[in-house]
Amino acid sequence: MPYITTADGTQIYYTDLGEGRPVILSHGWPLSSDAWQVELKLLADNGYRAIAHDRRGHGRSSQPWNGNDMDTYAADLAALVDALELDDLSLIGHSTGGGEVVRFAAQHGNGRVRKVITAGAVPPVMVQSASNPEGTPIEVFDGIRAGVLADRSQFYLDLTETFFGANRPGAQVSQGAKYDFWRQGMLVGLKGAYDCIKAFSETDFTEDLRALDVPILIAHGDDDQIVPIAAAAEKSIELVSKGTLKVYAGAPHGIYGDYQRELGQDILAFLAE
């Protein structure tokens, strides 16, 4: 399996498919690059070199004790880009991965980034505060931490209900999709999963968004129960200079079903512009 090794010795697993202009995809918590299998094939089938990595602590990458923070995640992505000698690069990030690609583009892009796409992404900042009253209360994230520590297997299964919007009337979410979420989640080391909760919920990406000088497509479902749109995409679009906001009516946090099919076509259209 293909790996690169970062400066602190962490091995980062990645998938590399197709030929053409490179596109890197960054996954959400607590998943892995497997979450992007459909999009990897879609991009490779349409003439792109599609690359997706497992974040440190996740999937098939190393599970180091340290470095489970957004600065290090972005530095790991920079190490991957350097190792593969990528230029004229587009980035796609879902949820936590949206924060990772925004930070990478702002702080490590060095003229190498062409476009950015986020979906259900955590920027500008998730946690509620006096300056971010639309955010999610810290008690919610404390509850996630407690759930992961107490019984992460059951917690991940339970999380699929709101992740995919399976708790909504008329929702049709397969057991297979839920089990695949659980499978990917169970590959995450406990320390990495626990630390990443702070990384995705408390990191402030405001200045990263302001620093972006490339086009960004900000995609978000208006029924996202994990990263509510009012505290995320609707604020991010006001901070970027070359942004396009695409709202998906009734779409959940998880990229699935009709939302996945529509987003895939929008990704191709945006990359081709």
Tokens representing 2 are: 């293909």
Give yes or no: 253 in active site.
yes
Q: Token pair of 230, please? A: 């009012």
224 among known catalytic residues: yes
How many whole angstroms separate alpha carbon 212 and alpha carbon 95? 18
How far apart, in Å, are the Cα atoms of 155 and each of 141, 163, 185, 269?
13, 12, 10, 37
The residues, ordered by sequence, that sit 6+ positions from 41 with a Cβ below 8 Å of its Cβ are 17, 50
Strand partners, 217: 117, 244
Kindly name the residue from 26, 27, 224, 236 that is annotated as catalytic.
224
Q: From the candidates 95, 201, 208, 236, which is the catalytic residue? A: 95
Adjacent-strand bridge partners of 116: 91, 216
**For this structure, is 174 an active site residue?**
no
Are the beta carbons of 99 and 29 closer than 8 angstroms?
no
CA dist., res. 64 & res. 185, Å (int): 17
Residue 27 CB partners (closer than 8 Å, separation 6+)? 33, 35, 36, 52, 54, 55, 58, 94, 95, 96, 97
Amino acid 61 reads: S
Residues catalogued as catalytic: 95, 224, 253
